C-alpha cells in the first residue's frame, strides 16, 4: 500500500538513502503496487546476505 506509514518511516528513509548512494548496485522497482529491491552483481547467496547486513547496519 503506497499510503502505508512504513513508507514514511525513518527506517524506510534510511534504506532509501543507502541504496541511492549505491546506484551501480541497487535499483528499486515497482510492479503492481509492490516495491522490489534489486541488487546487481551478486553472484552468491552469502554476498546478498552481506549486502542486506550492510543496509541494516547503515
pLDDT of residue 4: 87
For position 3, what pLDDT does the model report? 83
Q: What angle in degrees, to the nearest 10, is found between the helix axes of 10-20 and 45-57?
A: 120
| DSSP class of 44 | S
Compute the average pLDDT of residues 17-29.
Answer: 94
**In the predicted model, what is the mean pLDDT of residues 3-12?**
90
Listed by start position, the domains of the chain span 5-57
* pLDDT at position 24 over 80: yes
Residue 58 CB contacts under 8 Å (≥ 6 apart), including other chains: 14, 15, 17, 18
3 vs 52, residue with greater confidence: 52
Q: Residue 23 has what DSSP assignment?
A: T
Contacts of 51 by beta carbon, 8 Å cutoff, 6+ apart: 25, 39, 42
Give the predicted TM-score (pTM) of the model: 0.76
List the grid coordinates of 23.
Answer: 546506484
pLDDT cut 90: percent of the chain above it: 83
Amino acid at each position: 500500500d503506497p499510503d502505508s506509514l512504513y513508507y514514511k518511516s525513518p527506517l524506510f528513509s534510511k534504506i532509501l538513502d543507502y541504496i541511492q548512494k549505491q546506484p551501480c548496485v541497487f535499483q528499486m522497482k515497482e510492479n503492481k503496487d509492490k516495491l522490489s529491491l534489486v541488487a546487481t552483481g551478486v553472484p552468491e547467496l552469502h554476498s546478498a546476505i552481506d549486502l542486506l547486513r550492510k543496509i541494516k547496519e547503515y
